[in-house]
Every structure is written in structure tokens, then in C-alpha cells.
Structure 1
């Protein structure tokens, strides 16, 4: 039996979501020191792990809010994973604030979601290395489709354009 198969669906979802967010936190640059609030939030996430926000982590297909019964399942799964030594939980005022994977949790997450390895382009003699294009997000594709479908949509052209100062002769 593989390690990930002994966990419930909610526990696996939490491990994967936490691992992805921890990778994102490790990769992003720290905000400048003059942005004190952003800097404090960043330092907290580096030290304690990502902020636990199940309503943003686990969203339904249509973007609807998570029902209360599922939110409760994820909170219980957090406590079970903490008891197993997979997660570290940080609370604030008695509520879950941050979750962070332990070394054991990182091993399990690597099995569930293998870490992304940077792809290197093969060099050919005398030719520059090939660069792979970055795939567009679905939002960008939809926006491009709307622009190509109706390039003049919503634009009105004035019948009598206003003359510019450079078009008129200056009389002295």
C-alpha cells in the first residue's frame, strides 16, 4: 500500500493544497521592507506555513462557497493530520491560523504531487536553445476570444472629430 492511500480524501486534499502553497511561498520574493504589513504577512507564512483559508483553497466547480459540513470535515482532517505528525497547526484566538507540513508531510506530498523540475532545453550545435512558450491561462484565452470576436464592440466614433491644437494654425 502506498503512503497516500491511508489518508482520507479531505486529508489528501489538505496535504496537496498545503504543499502547493508552501512551494509558492518559497518561490515568491519577499516584499520590500517599506511594505511593513505585506512583509509581516510574508514572514508569518514563511515561519508558520500558509494561512488556512478553506473557502479559498477548496472551491466548487462553479465557484460556489463550501458548505459548512465540508468545512467541518477539513478542520477535523487538520487535527487528525496534526496528531499523525504530518501537519503543524498554528492557532490565533483558538482558531486555525496557519498550517505547515512537517518533514513527514513533505514526503507524503512529494508522493501525491511530485515536485516540478525545471525543464532544460537541449542545446543543438550552432543553434540557440529552444524556449518553450508559456501556456495562457483560461481567463486570458477567453479575453482574447472576446477581442477577436468583436473588436469594435462598445466603441463609438464621433461624427465630427475635435480638431487638435497642432491641426489649427496659431495666429499671432
Structure 2
């Protein structure tokens, strides 16, 4: 595995992570309590969930185990735009920093145990590499970009400028 592949994956994650961050930056705090789609949760819940999943992947990189069953979910964040923004930015930056320290040799030496989360990842992913962490997290971010697009359209909110990438401007 050469370094350009790692840096390209990091840049892709940053791109999608920043779309999520710009979405939150673009709305007023009162929208965090809005649930524009029946039974889909509030804007705040969406952003808090995205942050929780980023934290799961960060812990996996740090500790070697991916566990989606977090015991420290803080639902009060759902109504705190500033803390959500700070968390989304700092966790994304730390994930990218950690993965950027890998080179072609040591990235293949590190494996993350996913048995606590096998229900979500499937039997074929009992262990994953740091590159797979970036891939799975990027997929999660893209999925929530789609949900946020539905939220924005349903609530009649303008998309941030960088969402031109999805043709939504």
C-alpha cells in the first residue's frame, strides 16, 4: 500500500466530513430541535449520531476495538450547536491525524477487532484495517449526507455552498 492511497482516502473523508460540518454551520440553532420528516428524528439527533459514530471509529483507531454500543451518548448535545461543531471538527481532525501516521508497512500490521459490532458490519468484518475504518466512516458520512439532504429539502433550508458537489445548489 503506498502513501498516496492513504492520503487520498483521508482527503475523501475530510471532504465528506466537511460537508456534514458545513451543514450544521449553515443552520440556526433552533433548527436542531426540528424534525422535518416524520419518525426520523431531529436535526440535532442526526448531528449527535454522526459525532457518536466518529467517536466509535476514533476509539477503534486508538484502542484496537470497534464498539458501536457506546455508553457515553450525551443526548444534551442534540441542542448545542457549538459543542456539536467543535466535536465534529476535532474528532474528524484526530482520525485523519492518526491515519496519516501510517505508511505502507505499518498500516497492514494494525488490525481492529470488530466482534462487538459484528451485527452492523457483518461476519466478513471481524477484523478491519485502519484503511477500512476510513472507508466505513466515509460511507457513513455519505449516507447521512443523503439524510440531511432530505431534511434540508423538507424544511425548505438552503444548502451550504459546498453542497454544489451534490448538485443541490
Q: TM-score range by the shorter chain?
A: under 0.3
**TM-score, length-normalised on structure 1?**
0.23
Task: Please identify which structure carries the higher helix content.
Answer: 2
Larger radius of gyration: 1
TM-score, normalisation: structure 2: 0.23
Instruction: Report which structure shows greater RCO (CA 8 Å, sep ≥6).
Output: 2
